[in-house]
Amino acid sequence: LGARALADVVEKKIREGRFPLILGGDHSIGIGSLAGILKARPNTGVIWVDAHADLNTPDISESGNMHGMPVGILMKGMMEDHNSIPGLEWLGGDGESRKSPPRLSPKSIVYVGLRDVDAAERSIIRKLGIKAYTMHDIDHYGIGRIMDMTLKYLLKDDPNRPLHLSYDIDAVDPTQAPATGTTVRGGLTFREAHFVAEIVARSGALASAEMVELNPTLSDGKGA
């Protein structure tokens, strides 16, 4: 019910011409925020900055954690029947003149910062042709070129396309951002992390954003 409430609020604010900025908790909130965004703007391009792909579904998840499923649940061609997930039946429409949210096209998302991806997720990324830049790619090309390629890919057909930035704090190296329960070594540096947000904002296409997986109780008092 929380995801549905968030989806409704996000959709409403977008239609009012506002900029939705969502602060979380774990990345499962992306189910609601992304559903609302896609209902209001089906052509939205998504930049998913994360150590993890969050491309699981209940059928393939190794852990069963919902925060590893927001992209998988909404990805076109991956999960057509949501009735098996208590509380998410509304994603299939509820028969009360409410249509289900549009699904996310594999060509409408780019991953940045991946470094801890399940085997099933890696297979799906290859199968669906999802654009994904790992930390290896960032080390090889540099964050500037990675973000240039990301924006070019998402905006090549429509320079005015709205973009949604979904930023998981665990994309950042835990030496800089320890306040999360999903840390993975070898992440973005302080400047790389800032640059990602800066260049997306400067593109003029940023229309919504969320920052997730931040748990202040885990902070060491020095980093986020």
Contact (Cβ atoms closer than 8 angstroms) between residue 30 and residue 52: no
How far is it, in rounded angstroms, from Cα 91 to Cα 203?
A: 31
- Residue pointed to by tokens 């209902």: 39
Q: What is the dihedral of CA 154, 33, 129, 84, to 10 degrees?
A: -160
How far is it, in rounded angstroms, from Cα 29 to Cα 189?
A: 25
Catalytic residues: 27, 50, 52, 54, 67, 168, 170, 213
Beta bridge partners of 163: 45, 206
Residue 204, helix vs strand vs coil:
coil
How far is it, in rounded angstroms, from Cα 128 to Cα 105?
A: 9
How far is it, in rounded angstroms, from Cα 21 to Cα 165?
A: 10
Beta bridge partners of 110: 47, 131
How far is it, in rounded angstroms, from Cα 112 to Cα 138?
A: 8
